[in-house]
A and B are shown apart, each in its own frame.
Chain A
């Protein structure tokens, strides 16, 4: 494919769309009143909708990718994997049929019952279980990190312990512990976080500028 299509055309499209969005940010207030503001706002909304549309198209890539990968596992009977692949494909098609097939196809209120049932009692329950498992991961990570081996680790242990204990009902009778923990969170922790946030924001701005100028080659691969 020509370098014009592979590199210069995407850079040009990125530049034009990026500049439009920047202009929109600086010239269009949250409630536009002037005609030029309304027009710019509409262009910005259209561009965002296009992104969503492209996103919807790429869902097809995801489906094909899953079919190819797990189809291979099933045909090759990959040890320890193929039966999971079978289950994945069954569940995927079941959700697709229930979601798309819908009410008119089988004469019951699918979206109101089966789809919701699958979402709430199967998918929701599994997601909730995964989320809850984080408690155990936090515990094991805490046990490893809260060991007084060095001066810094000891400081981490003391401050961590203080912050944890300050939230327990038993220590509410000692207001100085609660106040100390709040002070650590409000000043020391927040100021460190702000330092990281400012640095990250600057990095994001510069990455944006590099992208608009066609200098950021990360998403194109290298030039050579």
Chain B
């Protein structure tokens, strides 16, 4: 019935789902798990404050985003950060620019932007057509357009959370050159070193996915971060066991992973 080689995937999914429900229930009953601080997300307010002092906009982009496929969750994580950023910008009266690649996220981004201004009681100050900018559906046309915005409008801060490819370095270097404070996050391992070298704060891999839960501090969401850590512990144990058993000549863990 279950496709061969996907039994373990199903067990892990069911276990993770069950544990997430359990953790959420515990948090709702008053349990407060300890989480490490994510400096990159804590610095969002600092970035907006800096822009308010300098009288310049804040720039946001979610990379080569997509709402289908492998990187859809990372795009959603980026949108969660944008929602919070738009709210902070509305609160401090700072213009925000969201450079959009591909049109699928545009309606969502526009809605998040409008909601942020409504929530802060400044609906009349919202300028979605100026804030949410569709640039291109082509990688390097989009990269060139972001560079143009950076050079012409000199944003005080640049926040990048999403799936980034070769354009990551172009963005990070351009905004560095104009003196923007930068917060960047991606789960694409090959782009993380570029961000780590150039940006002020970096969200590495899983930290991006936890952004929505971390920023909203919603108990229903924070419970799942606890399960994420449990999952990492499980992966670490399986990995170590695999190394030890394989070194001893046993393929039991490899067979287990292929189950």
| Chain A residues within 8 Å of B, Cβ to Cβ | 22, 25-29, 48, 51, 54-55, 58-59, 61-62, 65-66, 68-69, 72, 80-81, 84, 123, 126-127, 130-131, 133-134, 137-138, 140-141, 144-145, 193, 196-200, 202-211, 213, 215-219, 221-224
Task: Choose one: A26, A48, A134, A144; the contact of B2 (CB below 8 Å).
Answer: A26
Residue of B whose beta carbon sits closest to that of A34: B1
**B112 smallest CB distance to A (angstroms):** 5
Q: Which of B79, B140, B210, B211 is packed against the most chain A CB atoms within 10 Å?
A: B140
Interface size range on B against A: 35 or more
Residue of B whose beta carbon sits closest to that of A197: B189
Is B74 a contact of A204 with CB atoms below 8 Å?
yes
Q: How far is the CA of A2 from the CA of B129 in the complex (A)?
A: 25
Is A218 a contact of B80 with CB atoms below 8 Å?
yes
Is A215 a contact of B221 with CB atoms below 8 Å?
yes
Q: Which of B97-119 contact A (CB under 8 A)?
A: 100, 102-104, 106-108, 111-112, 115-116, 119
Is B205 a contact of A200 with CB atoms below 8 Å?
yes
Task: Choose one: A68, A134, A207, A211; the contact of B169 (CB below 8 Å).
Answer: A134
**B159 smallest CB distance to A (angstroms):** 14
B250 contacts chain A at the CB level, 8 A cutoff: no
The answer to whether A65 and B129 touch (CB under 8 A), given A126-B144, A196-B192, A222-B119, is: yes
Task: Choose one: A51, A196, A205, A224; the contact of B13 (CB below 8 Å).
Answer: A205
Residue of B whose beta carbon sits closest to that of A58: B103
Q: How far is the CA of A123 from the CA of B139 in the complex (A)?
A: 11
Contacts of B67 in A (CB 8 A): 51
The answer to whether A210 and B169 touch (CB under 8 A), given A202-B231, A203-B228, is: no
**A49 smallest CB distance to B (angstroms):** 11
Q: How far is the CA of A160 from the CA of B71 in the complex (A)?
A: 29
Q: Which of B176-231 contact A (CB under 8 A)?
A: 187, 189, 192, 194, 197-198, 204-213, 216, 218, 220-221, 224-225, 227-228, 231
Is B9 a contact of A204 with CB atoms below 8 Å?
no
The answer to whether A202 and B232 touch (CB under 8 A), given A22-B13, A27-B1, A216-B76, is: yes
Q: How far is the CA of A84 from the CA of B211 in the complex (A)?
A: 36
**A1 smallest CB distance to B (angstroms):** 11
Contacts of B192 in A (CB 8 A): 196
**B226 smallest CB distance to A (angstroms):** 10
Contacts of A206 in B (CB 8 A): 16, 20, 209, 224-225, 227-228, 231
The answer to whether A222 and B140 touch (CB under 8 A), given A137-B173, A203-B228, is: no
Q: How far is the CA of A130 from the CA of B103 in the complex (A)?
A: 22
* 19 A-B contact pairs sorted by A residue (CB < 8 Å): A29-B3, A59-B103, A65-B129, A123-B141, A127-B139, A131-B140, A131-B166, A133-B170, A141-B198, A144-B198, A200-B209, A203-B77, A203-B228, A206-B16, A206-B227, A207-B224, A221-B112, A222-B119, A222-B216
Which stretch, B34-42, B47-55, B130-138, B251-259, touches the partner chain A? B130-138
Contacts of B237 in A (CB 8 A): none
Is A29 a contact of B4 with CB atoms below 8 Å?
yes
Q: A62-B134, A141-B197, A207-B73 are in contact. List 17 more A-B contacts (CB 8 A).
A: A28-B3, A51-B67, A61-B107, A65-B134, A69-B129, A196-B205, A199-B206, A200-B208, A203-B77, A203-B208, A205-B13, A206-B20, A210-B212, A210-B213, A218-B79, A219-B80, A222-B216
The answer to whether A51 and B9 touch (CB under 8 A), given A198-B232, A218-B212, is: no
Task: Choose one: B10, B76, B116; the contact of A26 (CB below 8 Å).
Answer: B10
Residue of A whose beta carbon sits closest to that of B129: A68
B83 contacts chain A at the CB level, 8 A cutoff: yes
Nearest 5 Cβ contacts at the A-B interface: A218-B80, A203-B209, A218-B212, A200-B187, A221-B115
**B246 smallest CB distance to A (angstroms):** 14
Q: How far is the CA of A123 from the CA of B138 in the complex (A)?
A: 10
Is B224 a contact of A209 with CB atoms below 8 Å?
yes
**A223 smallest CB distance to B (angstroms):** 7
Residue of A whose beta carbon sits closest to that of B234: A202
Contacts of B198 in A (CB 8 A): 141, 144
Contacts of A140 in B (CB 8 A): 173
B143 contacts chain A at the CB level, 8 A cutoff: yes
